[in-house]
Chain A
Amino acid sequence: MSEVILQVRDLSVRYGGVLALSSVSFDVADAQIVGLIGPNGAGKTTCIDALSGFTAPSARNPSFRYISFLGRSIDRLSPQSRVRLGFARTFQSLELFDDLTVRDNLRVAAATPTWISTLTDALWPKRKVDAAVEEVLELLGLDSFAEDRPEHLSNGQRHLVAVGRALVGRPKLLLLDEPAAGLNPSETVELSKLLRSLPDRGVSVLLVDHDMSLVLGVCDQVHVLDFGSIIASGTPEQIRSDPLVISAYLGHGSSGVDEPALGAGSES
């Protein structure tokens, strides 16, 4: 078993009277792809927002470590500090910078500014090419669109830009929020190929999606969320046959026979 890089313990988020996430615990190991699935409203995006620092957990015991990353507690860190530690994320709605070219979308995420960088940028700007940016552009096949603005790209390309922007800071762990939303099947296949290549590059992945075929197809370990709690955990094979999962996705009384979503994963 390789080293655990993300450890989540007893994480809860409350919006007003609604408990959106209830005592969720799981681990992500180095070079692992972990999936988090669940039907709409299960708390997936809440979980991502809490992990990446955009939503505050409701329970706050100062001595307890809710989220540990690379061996240290990140509970009190701002979103940008978590990113700089190597914990990057994407958004379901992509949220690309529409005013910037594809290359600049990546450049802006590539380097950490120092307190003096505004001054050096104004007086003595560096003109060298950023190797990390060019590498990611090439990896994702975006080099020929580097000078285009995101609005001129196809939906699939825009998804790649979002992934590229998260990758360019060389994260240890990449949190993907529904990366396949709005992609057509062939684009989804390409995306899963890309995801499977990431562990070899030293990037672990936490993949959140409701597309069972994608998640079960690429993940080493899968956790199923429903009503804010993890109802099942295991390998894709175990999840595929878990009766609780089937009922959460299809409602009670259904047999697991006639649902394409669960079966499709094995094809890709």
Chain B
Amino acid sequence: MIGEYSGFILAGLGGGAVVAALALGLVLTNRATGVINFAFGAMGMYVAFAYFQFRDNGDLILPLIFVPSRIHLLATPTLFTALLMAVLLSAVLGAATYWLVFRPLRRAPALASVVASLGLMLYLQEVVRLNFPTGSAATVVRMGVLPEQPVRFLGTAVTANRLLLVVFVVLATVALTALFRYTKFGLQTRAAAGSQKGAMLVGISPDRIGLINSMIATVIAGIAVILIEPISGLDPITTSLLVLPALAAALLGGLSSFTIATCAGLGIGMLQSLILGYTVRPSTSWIPDWVPRTGLQQAVPVILVLIALVWRGDALPDRAYLVDKRLPSSPTPRHVTLWTILLVGATSVALLGFDAAHRQALIVTMVSALLALSIVVITGYVGQISLAQLAFAGVAGFTVINVANDGLPFPVAALVATLVATVVGVVVALPAARVRGMSLAIATLAMAVALEQLVLSSKGFSGGVAGRSAPRPVLFGVDFGISARGADNFRPIFGFLVLGVLTVSCLMVANLRRNRTGLRWLAVRSNERAAAAAGINVGRSKIGAFAVSSCIAGLAGVLLAYSTSTLSTNSFMVIGALVALALTYLGGIASIGGALIAGLLAQAGLFTLLANGGTDGKAGTYVFAISGLGLIAMAIFAPDGITGAVRQGAQHLQKSLKMGGQPPQQTALAGAGAGSGPGAGAGPAEGKPDHE
């Protein structure tokens, strides 16, 4: 009995070691640059793919698109040359990501670095999918590095590679701890983390520090993922998501302790293995059937993340936290009636005039825009980075199918499902309202994983892999169902239903944004302390915003359920949530127009359909990779997104058209203001001299 458990626990050493290695890297980059890199698992994943490719046939595959990426380096690669190549490649990758992505974002808001690292993760996943032979067609023989024969350890059989992995991680931990404690470089890193300006003043270059630490961290991650391959396999998505348990471990170490992060990582791995081993035994029949057995094991790091975050959380940020960082600007919606008439009119014409394929793309666009709108509310208006919106949509989608199949009529079922999503959103918001910025992004990502693994993957709720189908929505005897035979498929009447929901949602969000609720949200986003001093209940504002946004996400989920013949869990995987946030950021995260553009850009939306038409289907292949790159670029150069760029362009044009000799009004006013007393106009300061 005991032996059985210790077998499970020791088997988890391998997984635990790779979690610990990634956690070490996260702690290292956070200490050196203050950034939490969501793409860290993906970076290790790419290095491992490159290593096995090189070890197999001497080809180095670079993470590039549109240019030849395969270089034949060696005819007969050996273990040594392949490992050397992997170390060099990781170092270069670490340096490049630091220099190109995270260095420009050092002073940017948390949202920008989250978005950029999500972009990097998406890009790396896509580039691996595009450039490497994967899946069943894999032709690469993955030669493991470490010996795999079983050895006896503490009276239990365990493979040697697991023990060696642990040795590798422990050595790395000891080395890093010593490096930080006893060397000048470690001292400089700690100094630069404390105050970059101060460090520069005493002649330390924060760039050099950040660069070197990023290189070390990536090498550790790359090697660990290579070593774990024989144990856990290698997959673009699941390996990238190893960053989540690693984050849990790093957070338990306060994002600063190497030793605690390593211990926590090993602990998480062993606990997961124990739970997995325990739950799949036939004798553990007390666990009800609706609990997905593999989900339980995934939920452990999630619960740890949440506990660590909420435990460390604060109701309000303290003085030291406040930094003056610009967030994407959120203009007041203007000309709402005009826009509504124009867009609803154009969409109606399109619904009636398009063929089935374009109608389908239009419907996908509108449903995606609705999901993006929920992200605009919570992340754009209130500044709370939520990666759980797609999971809320999933909860609503399967709920509507279940209650409709139980006999509830269409509109009631849809309302019930939306309400359920809203309640789930509020429940998620309760702990989330205690954390902010990067921590909130991690917390909501953890919640999304928990919902995906425990609820959406549950056979009783979603029908498991097979999925479930909704009955046709019928209201007052009118059939709103989407499907029909042949060219009539993707019926316009369903499109009008979606258009109606989207229009009403956008108008309500515009109302909120223009009135006190929206002002309170923006105030909370701008400065939580000042918001509290203005009499705003910050926590309640956030929870209200979560309710509104999860309600909208729920509507999107309901429409998604009715628009597909079979709804499956695959529609709501965490990677999709990342893409949704990414596209919304691309469109313009703090405006309703941004949500609509995000809908256009969505996969299988109008843009990909049109682009595919012009490029023989190639655009669809590259859409994720390009949106990953676009995301990084936007985070660095254009935080206001596409709508922001268009708006600025329009203002620029207006200005240059007006430039008929008269000076631009804006600058004249600012110039007068800068020099004068409290009021250049009326009031107590009237008539004051400009200078003392």
Contacts and interface: CB of A to CB of B under 8 A. Distances in A.
Contacts of A190: 677-679, 684-685, 688
Contacts of A118: 512, 517, 544, 547-548
A89 interface: yes
Given A153-B673, A185-B692, A80 B532 contact: yes
A107 B683 contact: no
A117 B547 CA distance: 13
Contact of B511 (A98, A122, A160): A122
A113 to B, nearest CB: 7
Contact of B532 (A79, A104, A153, A185): A79
B511 A156 contact: no
A200 interface: no
A182 to B, nearest CB: 12
Interface string B272-310: 000000000000000000000000000000000000000
B210 to A, nearest CB: 28
B329 interface: yes
A100 interface: yes
Given A79-B533, A91-B530, A186-B692, A191 B678 contact: yes
Interface in B650-692: 666, 669-670, 673-686, 688-689, 691-692
Contacts of A52: 533
Q: How large is the interface on B (under 10, 10 to 19, 20 to 34, 35 or more residues)?
A: 35 or more
Interface string A183-198: 1111100110110000
Nearest to B519: A108
Given A54-B316, A97-B523, A108-B534, A141 B685 contact: yes
A118 B326 CA distance: 26
Identify whether the interface residues of A are mostly helix, strand, loop, or mixed: helix
A123 B511 contact: yes
Interface string A53-77: 1100000000000000000000000
Contacts of A108: 516, 519-520, 522-523, 531, 534, 536
Contacts of B408: none
A99 B512 contact: no
Interface stretch (A3-11, A21-29, A143-151, A240-248): A143-151
Contacts of B675: 154
Interface string B23-64: 000000000000000000000000000000000000000000
B432 to A, nearest CB: 18
Contacts of B537: 78, 80, 113
Contacts of A117: 516-517
Contacts of A259: none
Contacts of A166: 533-534
B328 to A, nearest CB: 9
Of the listed residues B525, B547, B548, B684, the one surrounded by the most CB atoms of chain A closer than 10 A to its CB is B684
Given A141-B682, A144-B681, A193-B684, A152 B673 contact: yes
A142 B686 CA distance: 11
Interface in A109-137: 109, 111-113, 117-118, 121-123, 125-126
B514 A165 contact: no
B684 A141 contact: yes
B508 interface: yes
Given A78-B537, A107-B516, A184-B677, A143 B682 contact: yes
A183 B329 CA distance: 28
A88 B515 CA distance: 22
Contacts of A139: 683
Max chain B CB contacts within 10 Å: which of A83, A107, A108, A112? Answer: A108
A268 B326 CA distance: 39
Nearest to A151: B670
A122 B512 contact: yes
A83 B536 CA distance: 9
A129 B32 CA distance: 51
A95 interface: yes
B679 A160 contact: yes
Contacts of A122: 508-509, 511-512, 517, 548
A125 B511 contact: yes
B525 A99 contact: yes
How extensive is the interface on chain A, given as a class?
35 or more
Given A54-B316, A154-B680, A184-B677, A83 B511 contact: no
Which one of A98, A122, A183 has the greatest number of beta carbons of chain B within 10 Å? A122
Contacts of A191: 678
A142 B680 CA distance: 9
A190 B519 CA distance: 30
Contacts of B670: 152
B538 interface: yes
A140 B677 contact: no
A108 B381 CA distance: 14
Contacts of A125: 511, 514-515
Interface string A149-169: 000111011011000011001
A208 interface: no
B532 A152 contact: no
A247 B529 CA distance: 35
Nearest to A111: B516
A117 B544 CA distance: 10
B535 interface: yes
A113 B534 CA distance: 12
A220 to B, nearest CB: 20
Contacts of A107: 516, 519
Contacts of B522: 97, 99-100, 104, 108
A138 interface: yes
B671 to A, nearest CB: 10
A78 B536 CA distance: 10
Contacts of A214: none
Contacts of A159: 678
A104 B519 contact: yes
B526 A100 contact: yes
A84 interface: yes
A95 B323 CA distance: 11
B517 A89 contact: no
Contacts of B511: 121-123, 125
A107 B523 CA distance: 11
A118 B688 CA distance: 43
Given A83-B533, A165-B534, 9 more contacts: A53-B532, A80-B535, A123-B511, A125-B511, A141-B679, A141-B683, A142-B679, A156-B685, A169-B534
12 contacts: A79-B532, A91-B530, A93-B322, A107-B516, A108-B519, A108-B522, A113-B517, A118-B544, A122-B512, A143-B681, A184-B677, A187-B677
Interface of A: 52-54, 78-80, 83-84, 88-91, 93, 95-100, 104, 107-109, 111-113, 117-118, 121-123, 125-126, 138-145, 148, 152-154, 156-157, 159-160, 165-166, 169, 183-187, 190-191, 193-194
| Interface pairs A-B: 9 shortest CB-CB | A141-B683, A156-B678, A109-B534, A95-B530, A141-B679, A154-B673, A83-B535, A144-B681, A79-B532
